[in-house]
C-alpha cells in the first residue's frame, strides 16, 4: 500500500470516531428537543426510529474507522516505535485510533440503547 493511502486511512481511523460520535450526539439531542417540545409535537418526529438510525450509522462509521486503523497498524508492522517518520508516526496514531475507536463504539452503543429504551420527555 502506498504511503499516501496509508496516511489517508490513518487520519480517517484517527478522526472519524470522535467526529461521528459528536455529530450523532448533537443530532440526537436535537431530535429529543424537537420531539419533546410542545410547539413541535405536531411534526410527528419518529424519535425511536431516528435514534436507531443514528446508532446504526455512527456504529458503522466507527467500525470502518477501526478497520482503517487496524490496516494501518498491520501495514506498518515492521516499523520500530521510535523509527523514522512517516511510518513510525502512522503506527503510533493507528495504535491510538484503535483504542479510541473502541471507546467511541462503546459510548455510541450504550447511548443509543439507553435513549431508545428510556422514557422520553421527562417532566420535572
Q: What pLDDT, on the 0 to 100 scale, is given for residue 123?
A: 63
Domain assignment present for 62 = yes
Domain assignment present for 81 = yes
Domain assignment present for 38 = yes
Q: List the pLDDT tens digit at each of the 124 positions of the chain.
A: 788 898 999 999 999 999 999 999 999 999 988 888 877 777 788 888 999 999 999 999 999 999 999 999 999 888 777 777 888 889 899 999 999 999 999 999 999 999 989 877 766 5
Domain assignment present for 8 = yes
Segments forming the whole domain that contains residue 25: 3-117
Residues in contact with 1: Cβ distance below 8 Å, sequence separation at least 6, in sequence order: 71, 75
For the question of whether the overall pTM of this predicted structure is more than 0.85, the answer is yes
Domain assignment present for 94 = yes
Residue owning grid cell 431508545: 116
Name the domain count of the chain.
1
Residue owning grid cell 429504551: 117
Domain assignment present for 122 = no
CA-wise closest residue to 20 among 52, 65, 51:
65
Domain assignment present for 123 = no
Amino acid at each position: 500500500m502506498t504511503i499516501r493511502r496509508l496516511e489517508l486511512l490513518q487520519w480517517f481511523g484517527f478522526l472519524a470516531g470522535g467526529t461521528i460520535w459528536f455529530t450523532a450526539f448533537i443530532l440526537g439531542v436535537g431530535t429529543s428537543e424537537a420531539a419533546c417540545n410542545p410547539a413541535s409535537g405536531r411534526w410527528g418526529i419518529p424519535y425511536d426510529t431516528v435514534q436507531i438510525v443514528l446508532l446504526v450509522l455512527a456504529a458503522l462509521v466507527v467500525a470502518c474507522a477501526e478497520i482503517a486503523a487496524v490496516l494501518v497498524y498491520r501495514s506498518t508492522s515492521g516499523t520500530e516505535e521510535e523509527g523514522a517518520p512517516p511510518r513510525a508516526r502512522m503506527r503510533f496514531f493507528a495504535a491510538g485510533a484503535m483504542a479510541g475507536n473502541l471507546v467511541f463504539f462503546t459510548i455510541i452503543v450504550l447511548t443509543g440503547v439507553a435513549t431508545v429504551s428510556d422514557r422520553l420527555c421527562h417532566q420535572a
